Amino acid sequence: SVIASITAHRTVLGTRRIEALLCDMSRAVLASDLPARAPAPVSRPVADAGLAVLSKRELLLTTALSNFNTHGYHEASIEEIGVAAGMTASSVYRYFASKADLLAALFYRTSERLSVITADALAESPDSATALRNLADRYVTSAFTHPELLSIYYAEFANLPQHERKNLRALQQQHIDQWTHLVTTELPDLPTVDARFRVHAALGLVLDVGRLIRFDFSPCSRARVVALMLAVLLAEPHSSTIETGSTS
């Protein structure tokens, strides 16, 4: 997951420094002292276990999320989403002009969740180290509660309309910048661009490991993923990582 994370973002860094960074992060993962494994998996909370949502727009978003996650964006259709929501295709268009608009709405919903998570974590943290731990804990809990949202966020970005991609990249960058600031506060000698690589690797790790353990919601499993995130974010840099090199 750490090594493959460089394919999930567009941050640019010299090849030798990327290699050093990946080695640092990978060693940190291998050396992590994780909490003992939970005795049995715990199912995540069921989103539809409570009362039904009356808002047709919210119902369509929930249904689209399930369809996009199960079938993929291209295979899902407005007609299928409408039927699953108990509506006709023409009724769907009253709320969303196109399937792409439905997808964009889900991305904005994810961005809003991340903003709330970040604000709450920072509000209860007296220092950057505590903030990183609180933020990682909240991020993992949210990701394991809504894994479909996280999966679509990573898998379907290229299917957004171009103007939405631009807007959402700006929002994503704000989120990455907050993590990056906390990391560089804890590791002041680490260049900002190196910290961004670490943040992308740590966030991607949550989805990859989550899938591996089927998003086991036990406190122990979530604590193990948080520990892996912090290991990646705060791994002590090898000397070659911070040497002056080619960057863009």
Q: Kindly tell me if the per-residue pLDDT of 248 is higher than 90.
A: no
pLDDT tens digit sequence for 75-121: 999 999 999 999 988 999 999 999 999 999 999 999 999 999 999 99
For position 240, what pLDDT does the model report? 46
Confidence label for 24 from pLDDT (cuts 50, 70 and 90):
very high
For position 245, what pLDDT does the model report? 43
Q: What is the average pLDDT score of the chain?
A: 90
Q: If you average pLDDT over residues 9-38, what whole number do you get?
A: 91
| DSSP letters spanning the chain | -TGGGGGS----B-HHHHHHHHHHHHHHHHT--PPPPPSS--PPPPTTSSPPP--HHHHHHHHHHHHHHHH-TTT--HHHHHHHTT--HHHHTTT-SSHHHHHHHHHHHHHHHHHHHHHHHHHT-SSHHHHHHHHHHHHHHHHHHSHHHHHHHHHSGGGS-HHHHHHHHHHHHHHHHHHHHHHHHHSTTS-HHHHHHHHHHHHHHHHHHHHHTTT---HHHHHHHHHHHHHHHHPPPPGGGSS---B-
Q: Kindly tell me if the per-residue pLDDT of 247 is higher than 50.
A: no
For position 10, what pLDDT does the model report? 86
